[in-house]
Structure 1
């Protein structure tokens, strides 16, 4: 009688160990799925913000007639402007910041100017150099004048 009780106890213990192992395996798989979902959510959020920022800058750039300095001022004045480049830095929450201070993302508007056409690319880049989004931008400049 004592022997059958010990066999039942060892079977119960083995069944309990198997159940704990199965639970641990399911928990590990679930954690991996949640981590992947979080990463995908962050990537999607970054892409959404990048598209929004690029479209905003493109519309401002076109409304200023292709003036990079005016574009930077209208956007908020936090960008670095040269003759053919506008660079705006953003923190991890996509708020504009000064160059070098907690920069997580950068927007670059690089322009090539040929007669009667300014064309270029708006590129959003992560701090590790990965390109998130690129948008071409073109604006007619000058034009043929008839008459006087």
Structure 2
């Protein structure tokens, strides 16, 4: 058994391992970074730490998000640094049996399916489980640095 936190981007349901989730914050504008990947919205100050923020909709190839006060930033620990993911809304915490997770189908689409670790049905709805390491893997950023005082 394992626990996931589920959330929405548009009509899509997605999930990540709850153990990687550090906090959920209200949307606030980011500071853009020059020459960052197109899906990197910018950075936020997270209690003195530079938090890179990924537009998850753009990262998944679903188009850029236009954040509003209704959006949230999920702060995730990915590898040795925190990242923020812009999502429409956090839904629930789900406990699933690992045996119920199915591998995503091989669709031959530019490696986008590599971002999906598995698919599971929760309460009659298909939910894509994201691979956080791959999600941030193409996101070259400076080392974690405290903001200057």
Q: Which has the higher contact order (CA 8 A, sep 6+)?
A: 2
Structure label with greater radius of gyration: 1
TM-score range with shorter-chain normalisation? under 0.3
Q: Which has the higher strand share?
A: 2
TM-score, with structure 1 as normaliser: 0.25
Q: Which has the higher helix share?
A: 1
